[in-house]
Structure formats: C-alpha cells, structure tokens
Amino acid sequence: MKFWGGLYNAAPKIYIPGTEFDIGFILLSALFISCVRFSSEYIWSEIFGFDLSNKMVKEMTAFSTSAFHSCMLVPSLWPVLLDQPYIPSAPIKNAPQYYKDASTALLSLCSGYMVYDFIFMMKNSGWTIESKDIPFLGHHVATLLYMCGVRVMGSAHISAMALMWSGEFTNPIHSFHSISRFAIQLADDDSFWHLINPYVEFSFAVLYLFFRALVGPLQIVHISYDLLTKEGRKNVPWYVSLFLIPLCSGIIIGSIPWTMESWEMMKDGLDVKYHRDWDYGPGYEL
C-alpha cells in the first residue's frame, strides 16, 4: 500500500477544471500501460517471430497487456481490501492516509487502463465506432463512472475495489486462453502452444464459471443490500445507489453469454472449442 500511495503522491496533480478531481495518475497509468502494449508488440514480433500485420497477433499483444495490468492490480488490491472492515458503502474519510492514497492510486490505475483500452480500440477501428464496439464501450464507460464516482463521493470505494478484484482475477488466464487459441493457428503442430492449449481452455472455463456464476452474483447481492440499508443510505444517497447497482449488475449480466460458453467448455473437458481450424470471421484469415 505504501508503494502505491508513494507513486500516487509523487505523480503530478492534474485537476479537471473547476473541480478538485485529480486525473494525473489516471493519465500516467494510461501512458504506462500504452508503453507495455508497445513492448508486447516488440516481444511477439521480434522475439517470438509473429507477424504484427496479422490481426490475430495484434489481439495477442492486446491480451498480453490486459494480463499484465491484472497481474499488477489483483495482488495489490488484496492487502487494501484486508486493511479495513469490509463494508461496501463505507466512507473513506476516517481511514488512514496511506489507505486513502493506495485506494486512489489503484482506482486510478484501473481507470487509466480503461482510457488506454478505449484509445487503442478506436485506433484499431480507424477512429470510428462500429456496432460491435458498443458493448465494449458501454463496459468501459460504466466502469469509469463507478470508479470515478466513488472517488467523488468519498464512499463506496470498497465496493469498487472488491468488484475490480473479482472481475480482474480471471483475466490473466482468460487472456492466456485467448493468446493460446490464436497461437495454435499460427504456430507449427508440434509447438508448445498446441500442447498447453487444451489445459489452458479447461482451466479458464472452470475459473471463469466460478467467478461469474457464483462469486460475482453474490458480491452484487451483498453490495446492493449494503447500499440500501439504513447505514448504507447515510454513506451513499439512495438515488446514487440506484445508479451504482445497475452499473455493477450490468457487468455480470453482460457476461452471461461467456459464462454459458464456459459451462459448455468445462463439460467438454480437454476437447477444445477453439481448435486450430476455428473460423474467427472476416479479418482473421491466415
């Protein structure tokens, strides 16, 4: 926590005009994660020898960056969540300063990832928004509103960090699965990727199903209950809670198709769904 708090305090403060809302660490995080993306492109092309002009390889660099972000965020969130009583609607004003700084830093880090991801999505789409991008855009807007909203209110930050933790926990294996299913289409039949892909897909399916079908819904129920109790309404106005609850619920609802897919993949065992000859549609031709 002191590490992240120190980084936040060392970063330049950039306030939205007319407010005291600092976006400096958000912008620095977006810049840092963009550098990770460029490094990922170099590694996949120059070290592993994949062709960056191939759309599958571009996706692999994006998933690598996403996994890197989650591997930073998830273990960092855990001690912060353990430091204070788990009350989703709790105000932050009475917490120690190191806790306030670490919480703000991690909320800003995740917000910065959303900014980075949106910019690269627009770049790869030729700076236009297509119909297929709407769910992606909606997810990012909802996440940013939630994370920035709790900072403005000075309460419910615990709910945001708890949702970030459970939502990002499966991301490294999710990203690794996405990388491996593209890699088996590009690599030789006797490559490492073909060996591990069935195990990666099955592991991802089990973990994703557990978090999205069990952990996530239970979190939403508990957070919603806490926000709407008498004490919760003191910390967060009821009309704000009626805005926050659909935001966090929408993530779980929106993931239902992938949750059902995970159930099917788990039932299939090591018989992979995304095999070497899987057709990903236009733009993914070899």
* CB distance 265 to 201 below 8 Å: yes
Contact 213, 252 (CB under 8 A): no
For 174-195, b where at least 16 C-beta lie within 10 A, e where not — what string?
A: bbbbbbbbbbbbbbeeeeebbe
Alpha-carbon distance of 29 to 73, in angstroms, equals 12
Q: Is pLDDT at 129 greater than 90 in this prediction?
A: no
Quickly count: other Cβ atoms within 10 Å of residue 251's Cβ: 18
What integer pLDDT is reported at residue 67 of this predicted model? 97
Looking at residue 127, what is its pLDDT? 80
pLDDT digits (tens, 9 = 90+) for 244-255: 999 888 888 888
Confidence of residue 43 (pLDDT cuts 50, 70, 90): very high
**What pLDDT was estimated at residue 133?**
74
Question: pLDDT tens digits for 184-225?
Answer: 999 888 889 999 999 999 999 999 999 999 999 999 999 999
Which pLDDT value is given to residue 24? 96
**Closest by Cα among 158, 11, 39 to 3:** 11
- Which 3-state string (H, E, C) describes the chain? CHHHHHHHHHCCCCECCCCCCECHHHHHHHHHHHHHHHHHHHHHHHHCCCCCCCHHHHHHHHHHHHHHHHHHHHHHHHHHHHHCCCCCCCECCCCCHHHHHHHHHHHHHHHHHHHHHHHHHHHHCCCCCCHHHHHHHHHHHHHHHHHHHHHHHCECHHHHHHHHHHHHHCHHHHHHHHHHHHHHHHCCCCCHHHHHHHHHHHHHHHHHHHHHHHHHHHHHHHHHHHHHCHHHHHHCCHHHHHHHHHHHHHHHHHCHHHHHHHHHHHHHCCCCCCCCCCCCCCCCCC
The pLDDT, as a whole number, for residue 126 is 78
Mean pLDDT over all residues of the chain?
93
**Which pLDDT belongs to residue 123?**
84
Average pLDDT of the residues in 266-278: 92
